[in-house]
Amino acid sequence: MKALVKAPFVRRMTKHLTEEDEAGIAAAVIPTMEPAEPELIAAIRGNEYDQRKVLIQGLPIAAAGMIPGFIAHSLTYCLAVGMTIIALLIVLFFVNRRCRIGDEAEKMVIPIDHIEGSSSRDYAVFYLPDGKYKMRCELNHPNPVSVTVLRSDGRSYCKLNGKEKRS
């Protein structure tokens, strides 16, 4: 079965589940899809545009990094920086594709079951009929209550919703 939520930084687990996990999966239902509000679409577009902006700003910096290689006539240095620029361009291409969120996007809201913590990160855990999902908690949302999944043109975008914020 294909993953119901297929988005970056969301991990689906179907093996090595505890009895509690299996009970959560058995009790889970697929939330209904409804049209997304323009504010939600704009917020997620803004996050995607911010990532693209950082990559675009990094390209001239990497290009300027080639100047010492030209001055020193170092072919290996120039090749290494050139490979970095090519990698940035490839990542920019994929991020640019993710920025295209249509106005006809649909959303579903999934309640968070619990938070699992590790030494460095907290993970929000939610259950769907096809498995257990874990999503990294953001620093400004340590106790999320739900995750909003936005779907547009075959791509999924996830946003944690919570009331408490760290200051």
**Chain-centre distance for alpha carbon 132:** 17
What would the two tokens of residue 146 be? 């739900």
Q: What is the pLDDT of residues 8-48, one digit of tens each?
A: 667 788 888 888 888 888 888 888 889 988 888 888 888 77
Q: What's the half-sphere exposure (Cβ side, CA atoms, 13 Å) at 90? A: 6
Q: What's the half-sphere exposure (Cβ side, CA atoms, 13 Å) at 12? A: 14
The lowest-confidence range among 3-12, 89-98, 102-111, 125-134 is 3-12
pLDDT band at 165 (very low <50, low <70, confident <90, very high): very low
Burial class (CB in 10 A: 0-12, 13-18, 19+), 65: middle
Residue type, 27: A
